[in-house]
Homo-oligomer: A and B are copies of this chain.
Amino acid sequence: MNHQTHPKYDIKVPEPTLRRLPWYLSNVKLLKQKGEQFVSSTQISKDTNIDASQIAKDLSYVNISGRTRVGYEVDTLIAVLEDFLGFTRVHRAFLFGVGSLGGALLQDSGLSHFGLQIVAAFDVKPELVGADLNGIPVFHSDEFSGKMQEYDVNIGVLTVPIEIAQSITDKMVAGGIKAVWNFTPFRIRVPEHIVVQNTSLYAHLAVMFNRLNCNENP
């Protein structure tokens, strides 16, 4: 595939930009469904309520150039954005902790459409070890380092109870995991070269509840 672009995967893109780019992608996907062939920053701005100059700045990281007057080609923009965001490559991951949330994530096959493939899960509960959930095998946690050799994995999804969040993280890192997607409300600590992405649903709930209370008791 030749987009005549040179995605800069290895440039550290600001987090706010990385959070906005999927919005543009969704928006452009919708325009494609509606039959549009070209889109301008102004159009995306109108649809998303984000400043057009901000959009142009964000898209400058992606290294795609628009044409004067017609804007960006819709197909190319979708392909380049998906590629740039990492959604077109397969990133293999292990999941640690098949509790309520962990089990739910194993059921969410949507993740694989965005580049994350959970290839195995780990737990210690006898009723889970040896099971197969949504096609994903569950192994005993003790088997982790052996499975690291077997599978080609560098991401660990952390959905364990807070009591063991740090110790499991330490084991993951010792075993060669390079990025931890932390769903626990616990602040894990890792060596500097390890990536941590915190996604605590509970912290998001706290923000939503507070804003709701503020609106209801102005």
Interface, chain A (partner B; CB < 8 A)? 9-13, 15, 18-19, 21-23, 25-27, 29-30, 33, 48-50, 85-87, 89, 91, 99-101, 103-105, 107-111, 114-116, 154-155, 162-163, 165, 178-179, 181, 184-187, 189, 193, 195, 197, 199-218
Q: Are A9 and B111 in contact (CB under 8 A)?
A: no
Given A110-B100, A162-B30, A18:B207 Cβ within 8 A: yes
Q: Are B212 and A19 in contact (CB under 8 A)?
A: no
User: Which B-chain residue is minimally distant from A44 (CB atoms)?
Assistant: B187
C-alpha gap A102/B113 in the complex (Å): 15
User: Which B-chain residue is minimally distant from A81 (CB atoms)?
Assistant: B206
**Which residues on B sit within 8 Å (CB–CB) of A99?**
110
Given A22-B185, A208-B181, A217-B9, A202:B87 Cβ within 8 A: yes
**Which residues on B sit within 8 Å (CB–CB) of A110?**
99-101, 201
Count the copies.
2
**Which residues on B sit within 8 Å (CB–CB) of A107?**
100, 103-104, 107
Q: Are A86 and B213 in contact (CB under 8 A)?
A: yes
**Which residues on B sit within 8 Å (CB–CB) of A162?**
26, 29-30
